[in-house]
Amino acid sequence: MLLACPHTSNLRIIDAVRILTNMAFWQSQVWTRKADSLYDTATQRDPDFMPWWREAIALWRRAPRYDVIVTMGVRESMLYGLLCALTFRRPKQIMCEVFIDAPRPTPSWHLKNLLYRFVARRAIGLLANSSAEVHTIARRYQLDPARIRYVPLNSNIANPQMESADDGFILSAGRTLRDYATLLNAVRQLPELPTSVICGRNDFQGLEIPPHVQIFTEIPRATYLEKLRRCRLVALPLLNTERATGQVVMLEAMAMGKPVITTRSPGTVDHLVDGENGILIEPGDAPALAREIERLWNNPALRQRLGEAAVHTMRESASADRHAELKLRAIAELNAQQKRH
Residues 113-141 pLDDT 10s: 999 999 999 999 999 999 999 999 999 99
Q: What is the CATH number of domain 170-317?
A: 3.40.50.2000
* d(C-alpha 32, C-alpha 333), whole Å: 19
Q: E-assigned strands of 151-301? A: 170-173, 195-199, 213-217, 233-236, 260-263, 279-281
Whole-model pTM: value is 0.90
Instruction: Please check whether residue 270 is in contact with residue 131, taking contact to mean a CB–CB distance below 8 angstroms.
Output: yes
- Can you tell me the mean pLDDT for 13-36? 91
300-317 and 247-255 helices cross at what angle (nearest 10)? 110
Pick from 135, 96, 140, 97: nearest CA to 117: 140
- Can you tell me the mean pLDDT for 312-316? 95
Query: 3 pLDDT exceeds 60?
Result: no
Pick the CATH number of 8-154+319-340 from 3.30.70.20, 1.10.3720.10, 3.40.640.10, 3.40.50.2000: 3.40.50.2000
* d(C-alpha 251, C-alpha 247), whole Å: 6
End-to-end CA distance of the chain: 16
Query: 2 pLDDT exceeds 60?
Result: no
Q: Other C-beta atoms within 10 Å of 56: how many?
A: 24
Residues of each domain in the chain carrying CATH 3.40.50.2000: 8-154+319-340, 170-317
Band (12; pLDDT cuts 50, 70, 90): low
Decide: helix, strand or coil at residue 213.
Answer: strand
Pick from 274, 194, 283: nearest CA to 233: 194
Query: Which range, of 75-84, 92-101, 148-157, averages the lowest pLDDT?
Result: 92-101
Q: Which helix (H) or strand (E) holds 148?
A: strand 148-150
